Structure 1
Amino acid sequence: MRIQKTSALASLLGCLFLYSGLTRAAENAPPAIAQVVDATIPPLMKTHDIPGMAIAVVANGRTYFFNYGFASKQSRQPVTQDTLFELGSISKTFTGILGGYALSQGKLSLSDTAGSRLPALQGSAIGQATLLQLATYTAGGLPLQFPDAVNSGQQAIGYYQAFRPAFAAGERRLYSNPSIGLFGYLAAQSLGQPFDEAMEKTLLPKLGLSSTYIRVPASRMERYAWGYARDGKPVRVGPGAFDSEAYGIKSSAADMAKYMAANWGDVRDADLRQALDASHAAYYRTGDLEQGLGWEGYRYPVSLTRLLAGNANEMAFQPQPVSWLTPARPAKEAVLLNKTGSTNGFGAYVAVVPSRKIAVVMLANRNYPNAARVTAAYRILAVLDSAGLS
């Protein structure tokens, strides 16, 4: 269905669809799920001026999709569970699993140093950091983003060679695209493939994801939503140094629901299960947050206050002290795993409790505050848990 902006009536219908319309697929959801999602998401969209959202709720072995609004304000193309959204930093969870897969193949060790894996970094300060430190943002203070002048992989290597740590490796967490970006680059290199190829031809097929991409193919561009920047202009993510590794994946609610199920062990490949376990394991604690490979975990059950604290701006922009867990906490305990992701025009959030087999996926084509995402998802998860829907 396309709603054209040709009259006042069409505009009214568009608003009604944007803030209250559900797809037919969601009509099969249990009343408790349908009520909490429909009471939570449309007000969230209105408050933050979000054009479109795709929601997947996974519980009791079933997935329920709720689709609101538009993938494009210009064409009035409605969101569906197959609409492609930019995942932003949720991509880091895929990078962590790829590293875990290389680990399961015996291609690398998390104790390897960056310099031992990449001769160009031998003798540099960052070359002494371990792959685990790179993957968990503790390599000495690599910043959130590369400087504007760094636009290619080769320029990134030069940046790493010149980097001077702000503090000792392993001492503090400073959330960083260059840090996990280098980890992903080295993990793919250990598998003998460029990162994009290792992800799109090895890991994503193993996860059973057929509508998840780094580079959206021409045949799927009609499903790729437009994001909307703060000024309201349509925008999509552009290329950057190690962008694929840190924030480059695009996916749909349908594929992300499958991804959630994979993360509670719904996979047959033993090496992939080992990779998932490695990504879920807690390597250190900072506050209530337990850091995995890409994933960020909390002992479950967890209060909303603690979950909000772990996803607060301070955790992304300020260095945090860490307490290493030796050995790492295994992945099988009761935890909530979550990750936010943003680009200039998109905002996403996923939360999964593997031991209860419940999950929420929230994809939006506007970047909006993490606290709003976490609060909305927590409200939905609470209903899944309390209503015995897990």
Structure 2
Amino acid sequence: MRLHAIAFASLCLLPLAASAAADTAALREAVDKAIKPLMAQHDVPGMAVAITVDGKTTFFNYGLASKEKNIPVSENTLFELGSVSKTFTATLACYAQGQGKLSFDDHPGKYLPQLKGSAIDRASLLELGTYTAGGLPLQMPDEVTDDAQMLDYFRNWTPNAPPGTRRRYSNPSIGLFGHLTARALQSDFADAMEGQLIPALGLKHTYIRVPAAAMPDYAWGYNSANKAVRVNPGVFDAEAYGVKSSAADMIRFVQANIDPGRLAAPIREAVACTHTGYFRIGDTVQGLGWEQYRAPVSLVQLQAGNGEKMSRGLNEATRLKPPQTPPPGTLFNKTGATGGFGAYVLFVPAQRVGIVMLANKNYPNAARIEAAHAILGQLRN
């Protein structure tokens, strides 16, 4: 009788197994259809893609982490995240606020007395973290190479808009935000990230400073001339674009954002804090780190929100009063790039789906978003 029961149970499970296999095959087909032509068109050597649906993760690995050594990409390959790093900086700042170490209403001079009375001191930490401090540029000037020159730069900076009225995407803006966060925590920024935030998120293979033991997993990036490159150091590099991570760790980070409830209280609250919307710029809602879109979200909206006008322009920003809890169906995303890498992360908490796309070449944002949007359509079916 026991053998009959086992046989019956096995037969009952066959349709479920067949369904799961069919779902996996359909997902593989959708991801291959989106990623393979993209890699061919933009000459991308390697990509790691991770998908989460209802807490289940699937990995799709393509091409090479190093063309010179013929090393294949895996879910454990380390990629430079570029500006996706800003979502980690934002989470650390939210953690510091939750610990009572800072307030987003504070001003830079509280933590850097050398900036008291300067134009940048009229901006709040929140405005620095949302790129609305008054029109800071996309990049720190090349001649600014150390902290003393950084302080001189900010003391002499002249805004072209009142704080909180215009958004200009800016590494110096969020870089100073992260720098002030570290000072509030009485820590070096990289130490705070690697010693406090990253372990608390349950990430095992994410770094600012890649240790020697992890260097074999660190992919080479390839620039427009197909020369092997890695990110150069610079002022606020760690705060603005310095995280290196794997698809395996990044999909865990996405899952933590989809369901922060599984985290311990201080980090749970910090992750949830990054989902608050503070400014509306067209169809985009700017939070700390993540950019948000209200449902339904079209491909055109996503591409515009990650396009040239948003990344380089001085755009009118409307402050949300009070700050907005994202409504159901909100889509969160962030792009990132360095000289040799391109990343894109997208998730929809209400649907419990998320996508991570890591590449060792910087290719156009529009192509990343088109591929992710096509995959997302399959996940919603």
TM-score of the aligned structures, taking structure 1 as reference length: 0.90
1:284 counterpart SS class:
strand
Q: What does residue 69 of structure 1 align with?
A: 63
- Establish whether residue 49 from structure 1 lines up as the match of residue 39 from structure 2: no
1:119-153 CA-to-partner distances (Å, cap 9, x unmatched) read 11101110121000000001111100011101222
- Structure 1 residue aligned with 2:199: 205
Find the counterpart in structure 1 of residue 377 from structure 2. 382
- Residue 268 of structure 1, CA deviation: 2.5
| Contact 1:277 1:331 (8 Å CA) reproduced | no
Residue correspondences, number: 361
Alpha-carbon displacement from aligned partner over 1:71-102 (angstroms, at most 9, x marks no partner): 01111100000000000000000001111101
Q: Larger radius of gyration, structure 1 or 2? A: 2
Are the equivalent residues in 1 in contact too, given 2:294–2:327 (CA < 8 A)?
Answer: no
Match of 2:366 among 371, 374, 378: 371
Contact 1:101 1:275 in 2 (8 A): yes
Find 1:329's aligned residue among 288, 313, 324.
324
CA distance in 2, matches of 1:288, 1:177: 22
* Cα distance in structure 2, aligned partners of 1:344 and 1:51: 14
Alignment of 1:178 with 2:185, yes or no, is no
Report the counterpart of residue 279 of structure 1 in structure 2: 274
**Deviation string for 1:329-382 (max 9, x for gaps)?**
114643110000000000000001112110000000000000000010011111
CA contact under 8 A between 1:300 and 1:334: conserved in structure 2? yes
- Of residues 153-162 and 129-138 in structure 1, the stretch that sits farther from structure 2 once superposed is 153-162
2:297 alignment partner, one of 287, 297, 302? 302
Structure-1 separation of matches of 2:214 and 2:55 = 28
Cα offsets for 1:243-281 (capped at 9, x unmatched): 000000000000001000010224331121211121111
Q: How big is the shift at 1:27?
A: 8.2
CA 1:171–1:134 in structure 2 vs 1: closer, same or farther (change >3 Å)? same
169, 178, 184: which one pairs with 2:163? Answer: 169
Indicate whether 1:223 and 2:217 are aligned: yes
> Which secondary structure does the structure 2 equivalent of 1:30 belong to?
helix
Query: What is the rounded CA distance, in whole Å, between the counterparts of 1:65 and 1:323 in structure 2?
Result: 39
> In structure 2, how many angstroms separate the alpha carbons of the residues matched to 1:256 and 1:29?
23
Provide closer, same or farther for how the CA distance between residues 28 and 243 of structure 1 changes in structure 2, counting only shifts above 3 A: farther
Q: Secondary structure of the equivalent of 2:274?
A: helix
CA contact (8 A) 1:152 1:242 kept: no
Structure 2 length-normalised TM: 0.93
Secondary structure of the 2:332 match is strand
Q: Is the 8 A contact 2:134 2:161 kept in 1?
A: yes
* CA-based RMSD: 1.4
Counterpart selection for 1:31 from 15, 20, 25: 25
SS of the aligned residue for 2:253 comes to helix
Q: Does 1:136 align with 2:136?
A: no
Distance 1:259 1:46 in 2: 29
The corresponding residue for 2:152 is 158
1:344, 1:263 → 2: CA distance?
Answer: 27
Counterpart selection for 1:318 from 305, 313, 320: 313
Q: Which residue of 1 aligns with 2:9?
A: none
Query: Identity, % of aligned pairs?
Result: 53
Q: Which runs of 4+ in 1 moved over 2 A?
A: 26-29, 265-268, 331-334
Separation in 2 of the partners of 1:33 and 1:170? 42
